[in-house]
Structure 1
């Protein structure tokens, strides 16, 4: 199922075009000065929530009983993990699984999503050897300038 997008102002000015769209799909309300919002029928929202929690719990059970299988599944599903050094790959999979297990127990998956993005960006850096060299090499103190902490202290 795909979603349909409308300017946020349509929710106020043209409700007759926004609400009928919910029959077939979720509606994304695009805002200029803030994060977009999603409208969904409660039945569809609850179905997604139930499915996500069930899948997360299933992966959590697999991870608790067969950690190597769970790590293998993550590595296959997230091909960019290959760009991480071996220790980073192990650490990434461990952290992601822990966040997913916690999310399955609490219903809060935002930490998992943030960590997933952070690890992907880290892998993308490792995919560029010249960038890794610049970020992990020695730094010459003369290249830096000391700045005063806002508020007057150091």
Structure 2
């Protein structure tokens, strides 16, 4: 079972920083979600905890890459077990699951090199959307059936030339 994150209002951190940080350190996740009224929530954790998360992604990615390079069967096995981590891949064709696996591992490796594991989120979201299309037979048919009349190439929009003011 996954531990629920501790939550607080951002103002609580400002008004009672020691108490709020103590709550964070006492939580299983060692982090706290800070709600803000006029902006996106923040997640507060220690630098060591954030570094550990990046190390886990890096280590796991390196294991997957090494497996995939050392034995062609590894990709087949990983493709077969991927639905345990991402249940929605069951709606993708097998070749697409393999493609997602490769893109996921390559992006994870690049994201760790850039010290920004959040770069994986758009890859997962895009493939999840693709699975959703495959799961909805009517939508899949509509998106993959030729539309009929082709109106020809589309000209790129004109982009006004921006001249920055001299300082």
Aligned length: 147
Q: Match for residue 146 of structure 1?
A: none
- Does residue 32 of structure 2 align to residue 24 of structure 1? no
Structure 1 segments unaligned to the other structure (5+ residues): 142-148
When normalised by structure 2's length, the TM-score is 0.71
Q: Match for residue 63 of structure 2?
A: 58
Report the Cα offset of residue 27 of structure 1.
0.7
Name the CA distance, whole Å, in 1 between partners of 2:40 and 2:73.
38
Q: 1:1-150 alignment to 2 at 5 Å?
A: 1-25=3-27, 26-76=31-81, 77=84, 78-139=86-147
Stretches of 4+ aligned residues off by more than 6 angstroms: 149-152
Q: 1:112 to 1:23 in 2, by over 3 A?
A: closer
When normalised by structure 1's length, the TM-score is 0.76
Report the Cα offset of residue 139 of structure 1.
2.3
Report the Cα offset of residue 122 of structure 1.
0.7
Contact persistence 2:58–2:108 (CA under 8 A): no
Name the CA distance, whole Å, in 2 between partners of 1:137 and 1:28.
45
How big is the alpha-carbon RMSD for the aligned residues of Structure 1 and Structure 2?
A: 2.9
Report the Cα offset of residue 127 of structure 1.
0.6
Contact persistence 1:75–1:81 (CA under 8 A): no
Q: Match for residue 145 of structure 1?
A: none
Structure 2 segments unaligned to the other structure (5+ residues): 150-156, 161-167
Contact persistence 2:61–2:105 (CA under 8 A): no
Report the Cα offset of residue 65 of structure 1.
1.7
